[in-house]
């Protein structure tokens, strides 16, 4: 999340906007990210939920004292504190980006659903959805009024991925991939990312594609994935990697990027892969519905079950000769997902909301 904050600070119009960054608990990562930008960051020193009411009171006082206009929150806990403080201050507009609300319907937990709906539907003056897919979820599942939700795509530094560091040969050599066909999935290892279904799907396709290798990279407990790969006799056909700091190089070593998730608010790694010029096979979640055009920039799976993923994988492999053209089309398609455009759209929304509330310009 913190690189996202760095982009907000880096591309903000500082002649018009005075930005401050805050965390609930002390956060060296946030402080480090924004220090280099010459922006202030502070902690509410509230690591426990029992501390949140007092933190909201302190923040409301600070908002009034420093004549703030907008509070923009980025997680469920931060929203509870920040949006309550905005309401308590009476003159501050509370905006929440729903980064994680796509997960709540998947958990089927009444308490999470109610808290998220309360935070976004009652406390927030306005909600930002990172994709049209999540906007629909907020309206349909969380009951947020359509007039309160604006879809604003997340953005990345496109040029970083467009100018690939290498042809991927170093990573291929490191992983012993040679000239094999490489399918890669990058994401935190947990059930919503659906890596187990992807492995099961690959197991049915692998005998048909003896040169294909599946690479998984991400943070989390990989023991279950390794055991599943072993039970399916895929040890030599897979590479299960810890999180890497060379995502761009790993993507450069990839032929087809695969994304099997059950849900996404956005799915930034899809855009990173497309910006690197890679076709994408994805479930229809988050930004994939908008960015992955079936047969043009990649392939959309019909669902998230192993059979759906295997079918989509086979369709992608059947047009392997078109992957280079699909990669070029993917690069063109993601030109709208720049960090500068994202921040500019945020700033326009801030101004509109403050004007609507009868306040001064930020």
Residue 104, pLDDT score: 76
Q: What is the pLDDT of residues 221-243, one digit of tens each?
A: 999 999 999 999 999 999 999 99
Higher pLDDT, 102 or 283: 283
**What pairing do the DSSP bridges indicate for beta strands 238-241 and 256-259?**
unpaired
Class of domain 158-336 as given by CATH = alpha beta
CB 180 within 8 A of CB 215: no
CA distance 333 to 132: 16
As given in the structure block, the two tokens for residue 108 are 């089927």
- Using DSSP, state whether 215 is helix, strand or coil: strand
Residue 361, pLDDT score: 42
DSSP E strands, 166-292: 181-186, 212-217, 238-241, 256-259, 280-282
Nearest to 114 by CA among 80, 72, 71, 146: 80
Q: What is the pLDDT of residues 67-84, one digit of tens each?
A: 999 999 998 899 999 999
CB 362 within 8 A of CB 92: no
Q: What is the dihedral of CA 178, 183, 186, 188, to 10 degrees?
A: -110
Nearest to 342 by CA among 263, 268, 261, 264: 268
Higher pLDDT, 210 or 35: 210
Q: How do the domains of the chain map onto residue ranges?
A: 2-155+339-356, 158-336
* CATH of span 2-155+339-356: 3.40.50.2000
Provide the β-strand partners of residue 190. Answer: none
- Using DSSP, state whether 64 is helix, strand or coil: helix
Residue 218, pLDDT score: 96
CB 268 within 8 A of CB 337: no
Residue 36, pLDDT score: 84
Q: Do domains 2-155+339-356 and 158-336 have the same CATH topology?
A: yes
Residue 362, pLDDT score: 39
Residue 164, pLDDT score: 60
Averaged confidence pLDDT in the chain? 93
Q: Is the pLDDT of residue 277 over 70?
A: yes
pLDDT bracket for residue 165 (50, 70, 90) = low
Q: Is the pLDDT of residue 283 over 70?
A: yes
The whole-number average pLDDT for the span 194-200 is: 98
């Amino acid at each position: 999340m913190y690189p996202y904050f760095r982009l907000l600070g880096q591309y903000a119009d500082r002649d018009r906007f005075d930005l401050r960054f805050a965390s609930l608990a002390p956060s060296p990562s946030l402080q480090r990210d924004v220090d280099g930008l010459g922006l202030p960051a502070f902690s509410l020193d509230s690591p426990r939920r029992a501390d949140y009411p007092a933190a909201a009171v302190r923040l409301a006082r600070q908002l009034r004292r420093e004549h703030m206009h907008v509070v923009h929150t980025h997680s469920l806990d931060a929203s509870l504190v920040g949006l309550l403080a905005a309401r308590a201050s009476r003159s501050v507009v509370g905006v929440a980006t729903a980064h994680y609300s796509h997960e709540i319907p998947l958990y089927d937990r009444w308490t999470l659903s109610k808290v998220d709906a309360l935070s976004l539907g009652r406390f927030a003056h306005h909600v930002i959805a990172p994709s049209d897919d999540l906007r629909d979820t907020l309206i349909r599942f969380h009951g947020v009024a359509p007039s309160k939700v604006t879809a604003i795509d997340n953005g990345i530094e496109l040029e970083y991925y467009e100018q690939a560091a290498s042809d991927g040969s170093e990573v291929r050599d490191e992983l012993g991939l040679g000239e094999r066909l490489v399918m890669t999935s990058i994401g935190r290892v947990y059930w919503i990312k659906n890596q187990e279904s992807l492995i099961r799907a690959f197991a049915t396709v692998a005998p048909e594609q003896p040169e294909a290798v599946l690479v998984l990279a991400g943070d989390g407990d990989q023991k279950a994935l390794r055991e599943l790969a072993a039970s399916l006799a895929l040890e030599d056909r897979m590479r299960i990697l810890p999180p890497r700091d060379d995502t761009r190089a790993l993507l450069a070593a990839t032929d087809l990027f695969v994304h099997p998730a059950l849900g996404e608010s956005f799915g930034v790694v899809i855009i990173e892969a497309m910006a690197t010029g890679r076709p994408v096979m994805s479930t229809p979640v988050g930004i994939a519905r908008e960015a992955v055009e079936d047969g043009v920039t990649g392939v959309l799976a019909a669902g998230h079950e192993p059979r759906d993923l295997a079918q989509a994988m086979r369709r992608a492999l059947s047009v392997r000769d078109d992957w280079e053209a699909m990669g070029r089309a993917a690069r063109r398609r993601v030109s709208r997902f720049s960090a500068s455009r994202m921040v500019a759209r945020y700033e326009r929304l801030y101004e509109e909301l403050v004007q609507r509330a009868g306040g001064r310009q930020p």
